Structure 1
């Protein structure tokens, strides 16, 4: 890294002018902008001293070698080594170039650079351009390697199947114009990339690529292609780079989404920025808060507990999760703009959509803003809204699938007069900025109040998203069933006491999707009609398959051939090496390349017709193919497949060699299956409604149990349940005045009064008599007045329920404890504390399991949690698109919690249980210690001999038969073979 430092190099000023335009205008706009004293580093130096070292650090080398070739483990972790590499590069840049690192960061983090337009170039387009540039025959080995990079090739190129940049490197090094690194600087690379982003058409793009080709060697061109594709894969995240550059860099990027601003405002690592600069700014794109993904939705009580409810405020909010695109809208009053208001729209990834949705009320090219006259109250002159852009069909009066959004917006742009077609609808669920004030530090309740006052909305154009207020986990199930029946995305649970946290995925917002509830799963037999080549260790081989539904009788009557199939879904998860080998054995020599110009329409129909939205790399005649049994979470609409819908999260179960291709599911049979399923769901819904309408008939025991709290607490008594009088008169001689309903468990005022009278108490309506016991669970007007004007004690309905439950065992009234007081004098509060230990454990009554857990949670327990775990959404998207996560073994068991069932003679420290435990934990799963834990998904049986295994498995089935969700019981080989194959294999083949 030897380069002589220059002071005030005129070449650096000239370089700035080429990169940024007029220096005078730039200095006026950014007076504090740092200026480099020398020209930027060579592009080859960026590769040699940053990209390559980081890339080498990803390899599991194990450290330096000692004598005998053995590795000496490094004492420094790989993460710390990466940080040191980045720190050295940044220090070298400051010394040799200056404090403006923005030119380098644009190439290091190309996906975060909002200043450069998109290139519009993907792998196939780049391959096609390179073939022309180097004058390669497209039918040659190298032409084939570039144009069909996923397909296996001959000789060395086949080793890089699936890695486009790697294949380009192998082809380019044979034909590179220079073998030594080039002399192109980072600034010159940026200048040409700006030209490439502005270019349109092959005639403008080819000369730019030619200049790169002449000036760079093969390795430099490989990294350039990764920058263009925004697929760097250097082993370090943008958070690491930003944190090393400046401690406030990530916070500033979260509120601005501007790499330029981060580099220029924070060029001095010793100067910290004040809080105002890390607040959301009008007309600056911010990084939104995200909902935490929940793996296991079988225990809703645990989800609600994560929202941090308190005795005084147990409320949480439930919103429907919308199937659209996350969008932020900024609006400011601007007299110079026609209509007086200026708008800007950004997506979650920071893409500017103002061109589509409009920049003003009178924008003739707007799909949304020209319909927003009157959407804000007169006093609103600046606002930032967070929400979801969805498609609304006024004719069907329903939300359409996400894939229709852009089509609907473009149609609305072209034809604003139409009133009955699908159109964009902005559903707002949060407000972050109002009339010059940042609202992110206010709680959600306050923000929602501001939102409803400031935004009356414009019907079916801009609306405030509705939410339901709940206090117990029982409210989730009926709403989840409703979204399933309506084919919606799921639910989002929100903590109304929480602030808005930028670029954070935390437990204040929790996603609850029905996809992982087993009762909504299906298993289908479909014929394979296409194949896709994989990447990585699956590169060059077919790793996922397109499956279709056979033409039904109606289709054949309309002229469809006997072998005609309609594309339905793509599946790539659940296959082992043996499964791939078996499919290959039965289909060897029958696969044919897919030619876009001549698709096999006689046999396969794709989504989009001639547009071929989703086409495979190779295809096979249905009569020569195999049938796969696949299970899936649900069915969702999709225009990518000919059926108009597809399976969500499909997973392979087994090969159905017992079924011929013409015994696979056809279109008519699948339609009947859907119809039957919808009928079953409707019947369930009707039964639930009927049960709700029936008057409750409960016996004496139910009255006693009404004091039990928690997710499994009995339903509160109805107002008619006082016919059967209880034997005890625990409240005899006491007069009560009930001021509100009970929140947890839910009971009306009348129900509480009946319960008190049933146990000997009297009911009065005068709250000003000192001897009367006041009861309330909500701060209604009358309660608030009493709390404000006097020191009267107000007890919660919980005290009544606890007294009734306790009387069965101890026969006396309970003293007031802190959990029983809704309001009280300071003296009473201190007295109440005397009846519990420091953690809230009562000296006078027995605690139920839920309350005992709360006491234990209050005790000091060290927790090891990772607040930055944000992988789930990305991994789900991969699976949703049929990608196997086999090469990511660290997430293989992420949805599994395993219980190890040890048979006679098998111990925890035996080899197989230890290996299994390590496999599960390394694979992102959990090992449970209670088989009755509802989160346990698999019971793994270890036993000496087949008979012992069956005996142990039988015991486990008996032990778990009363669970709400039954676990899968498998032998110990399942975990090891799943780990070996890199996928979750079907459990049926490993039944214990």
Structure 2
């Protein structure tokens, strides 16, 4: 059928029916959905016309000199940001022209981490490697097979393998390109790929997975397979964020995704860029998963005073809330009336990543679909609650200890509780701690303050003890109230605290200073940092692939031991550290230890390094490589506290360890020993107890001597105070500023303070707008006069933070002539004229990082990093879990069906009477215990040989290295 006709061709209808499972059902459920007139584009168009061009644009350097507009001939004069947007826009335009308006088939492959309709595949890197080894029929002991399985390790064969260390898809391409079935691109369409991936997500057996991969292998070339693997792993890294892609698809796409977490709905409801969302469409709705508000990170060096100053305190209300940060899974609970449901209510549960957990925690109060939680919470709500949405954390509670336990136990506890018929479980159970109410009896509460939402929560939820509880908080008024609470949660092995602004609204899918994480890194449990010797290294992935990204540190057993003594250089594993290193730190460590590392052999571990675990199998936290302490380096590390752990040989480890400094001034034998650490620990605990006593005395004194609040002082025009800006300057000389509102973010400032700041740095303040090209209009909230100015479309409106950024940047560039920062679309612009949009967006990269401005502080760095894609897959794959345990030395030999898991057993030939029957029986035992039976003794990888009793004497003389003989 020719392009441009109104009726879909037959192939398109057939393809769509296969892809979505029946056109009539779709028309009923989505009556206004768009339909494609033609077949979807071939799969290879995704990387030929989108992925690869985006990556190429990312590699290009930003053009020097003034910004130039792209000419009609192409992208050569564009900035990288413009080029990326142009690539995406062209691909979408091609899809609309050649396929139709249903972009969902392509979108779920472009940003697969946001596709909630397709179930998880249950495939990690090692599982995919094993499947590829089978379909390519290469020897599992070959170098190519090992390169894929050990994808984090640097390549030993060639430079290409070394460059792809940490990039699993890249390693697969190296192997697949040597043995392709197809050299040219295949003929699979995007719809066919989606259909086949749907099938892959629904099978669990490896045999079925192999068959599906064989189909891909026959119809795709190596490059196509490489991108397919990235899609399955949801590790795209194409140089453009989902925020950018959604925004180009439709101006309201991100907003709709935030309230629905539904990529299908975004593509089908917003297929026309001219049709905008109405006000009622931009809020969360019942039984529709939304993207929750997140807590902001804070720099480790920030004082409590600085953190609290960002919580929006006012002269009339200086309160802030302190909550314990829970070690669980973020969860939202939806409840609606359903007359046909058992108990009259229907429940929905979704995680932060939009995974539906109603199957686990329950859909009804009673009946077959009452899960691990809902059947116990019938009395949790007051009688007048018809519908409600709660935001909270699902944690595991141990009833015997009466204490929270680690997040890793949550799913096991929930499954156990779901199968608990009597409901009298005294072990571990899921507990839902609620800290926010976002919807109540048909009323959306997100526009209301946290304090008002909390009142609604307390009026609607009664709670059920250790099933569903309202999470407590402490109302504080001074930064000094944070430390005792932080010490308390650290003592109870909690994650930390969350500080909240009770005057704040709920902001979907945002990290801002209304909610702030305070981790125990702020604590100083030891009077000095710990200087420990490195004994092991772990390879990283991604940009750290092929190099050590974290290190195992140990404590010396005996510093006084001489060379030749059994304890010479002997160390006990103590902690693993991977945070706090800069690129220069890694380079310095690599330079001092290069050529001295040895691969860790689990069968013959070094005698001088003892790992955690049982006596017979000390392999916990096994490093990829080890090093002699005498060849190693000493690291200075800091930690929040010390906690018990059987993962390390010391039976103690550091909680939240962080690298501080490479101690080039210390020899390996000057590092911390076991005795010295235990003495230091005892001293720290004694000082901690004394400090607690002093603090309690001081607190009691403060309560007796209450102080009044200091009066608010506003600087006038004569005496200008610039507390954030340093000395006065001429930065704004020649500019006029019309300041329309107070500043709200990142700190509060009055209109008068902003005007004083402008004057202090050479600017002129005016009280009305004009056509002056040197006028800067400033606003941070949408008052009536601001909205009126927007509608006139005469001026861009700048946020007050631009003023602070200009001042701060000129302080950094000491000696340079005063200059103004270019506007950044998201950070600096409150309202932007359409004509200037592309211009201002080009001033930052795709992650919002400015080309001209230095990052202000660690806080902004964390926010920038936090806006980047995060890919976590919490799907539980039992086989991968077992393999991971084995990789870390956690042997399952105590379980009957795993007792021979690491063995390859051969059976000797013998003419003894009855040996054939006995050996056959033994082979079955080995297979039942997870072992492998070899065809003969010469087969590669044999670990054990079984011989008859009558031949044991003769066989003792044949024992070879690495092979154990058993007598049967």
5+ unaligned residues in a row in structure 2: which ranges? 66-73, 560-565, 714-739, 759-775, 782-804, 818-848, 860-968
Counterpart among 680, 684, 688 of residue 687 in structure 2: 680
**Correspondences of 1:147-546 after superposition (within 5 Å):** 147-153=149-155, 154-155=157-158, 156-295=160-299, 298-362=302-366, 366-415=371-420, 417-516=423-522, 523-535=529-541, 538-546=544-552
Q: Name the CA distance, whole Å, in 1 between partners of 2:267 and 2:290.
A: 16
* Per-residue deviation, 1:661: 6.3
Deviations 1:663-684 (A, max 9, x none): 6433x75455444433322321
Of the structure 1 ranges 139-148 and 310-319, higher mean CA displacement relative to structure 2 is found in 310-319
Give the C-alpha shift of residue 582 in structure 1. Answer: 6.2
Distance change (3 Å), C-alpha of 1:607 and 1:404: farther
CA RMSD of aligned residues (A): 4.2
Query: Which whole-Å deviations, capped at 9, do the CAs of 1:109-135 have from their partners, x for residues lacking one?
Result: 100000000011111111121111111
After superposition, the Cα gap between the structure-2 partners of 1:527 and 1:336, relative to the gap in structure 1 and judged at 3 Å, is farther
List aligned pairs for 1:543-558, cutoff 5 A.
543-549=549-555
Distance in 2 (CA, whole Å) between partners of 1:333 and 1:919 is: 49
Q: Does 2:54 match 1:48?
A: no
- Provide the residue aligned with 2:24 in structure 1: 24
Aligned position for 1:941: none
Query: In 1, are the aligned partners of 2:54 and 2:238 still within 8 Å (CA)?
Result: yes
Structure 1 residue 855: Cα displacement: 5.7
Structural mapping, 1:632-643, within 5 Å: 632-635=639-642, 643=651
CA distance, structure 2, for counterparts of residue 506 and residue 628 of structure 1: 34
What is the SS of the residue equivalent to 1:317? Answer: strand
Partners of 2:54 and 2:13 lie apart in 1 by: 31
- The answer for the alignment partner of 1:754 in structure 2 is none
- For structure 1, list consecutive stretches of 5 or more residues without a partner in the other structure: 66-71, 554-559, 698-714, 718-741, 746-797, 803-837, 841-849, 868-893, 911-917, 929-992
Which deviations, in whole Å up to 9, do the C-alpha atoms of 1:310-333 show, x marking residues without a partner?
333333323222222211111223
Cα shift readout 1:53-103 (whole Å, capped 9, x = no counterpart): 1111110344699xxxxxx99653222221111111111111111111000
User: Does the aligned pair in 2 maintain the 1:522–1:634 contact within 8 Å?
Assistant: no
Is 2:700 the partner of 1:693?
yes
Distance 2:756 2:33 in 1: 52
Q: Structure 1 pair 607/577, CA: closer, same or farther in 2 (3 Å)?
A: farther
In the alignment, the residues of structure 2 paired with residue 525 and residue 254 of structure 1 have an alpha-carbon distance, to the nearest angstrom, of 46
The separation in 1 between residues aligned to 2:589 and 2:329, in whole angstroms, is 41
Report SS of the residue matched to 1:174.
coil
Is the 2:585–2:662 contact (alpha carbons within 8 Å) kept by the matching residues of 1? no
Determine if contact 1:629/1:656 at 8 Å carries over to the other structure.
Answer: no
Preserved contact between residue 525 and residue 665 of structure 1 (Cα < 8 Å): no
Change (3 A) 1:465 1:660: same
From 838, 856, 864, give the equivalent of 2:753: 856
Write the distance in 2 (CA, Å) between the matches of 1:85 and 1:23: 32
1:142 to 136, 141, 144: 144
Of stretches 392-401 and 191-200 in structure 1, the one that deviates more from structure 2 is 392-401
SS in 2 for 1:503: coil
Distance 2:188 2:226 in 1: 15
How many positions carry a matched residue from both structures?
734
- 2:24 paired with 1:127: no
| Shift in alpha-carbon separation, 1:460–1:852, aligned structure 2, 3 A | closer
In structure 2, what is the equivalent of residue 57 of structure 1?
57
Work out the CA distance in 2 between the residues paired with 1:839 and 1:175.
66
Contact residue 300 and residue 521 of structure 2 kept, 8 A: no
Asked if 2 retains the 8 angstrom alpha-carbon contact of 1:50 and 1:85, the reply is: yes
The corresponding residue for 2:659 is: 651
Q: Which moved more, 1:29-38 or 1:364-373?
A: 364-373
Pair 1:647–1:925, CA change in 2 (3 A): farther
Partner of 2:673: 665
The verdict on how the C-alpha distance between 1:294 and 1:47 changes in structure 2, with shifts beyond 3 A counting, is same
- Shift of the alpha carbon at 1:263? 0.6
Q: How far apart are residue 290 of structure 1 and its match?
A: 1.3
**1:782-805 deviations in whole A, cap 9, x for unaligned?**
xxxxxxxxxxxxxxxx69xx9xxx
State how 1:932-947 maps to structure 2 within 5 Å: none
Instruction: Give TM-score scaled by structure 2 length.
Output: 0.68
For the structure 1 residues 436 and 696, does the alpha-carbon distance in structure 2 shift closer, same or farther, using more than 3 Å as the test? closer
* Aligned 1:739-888 pairs, distance under 5 A: 744=709, 856-857=753-754, 859=756
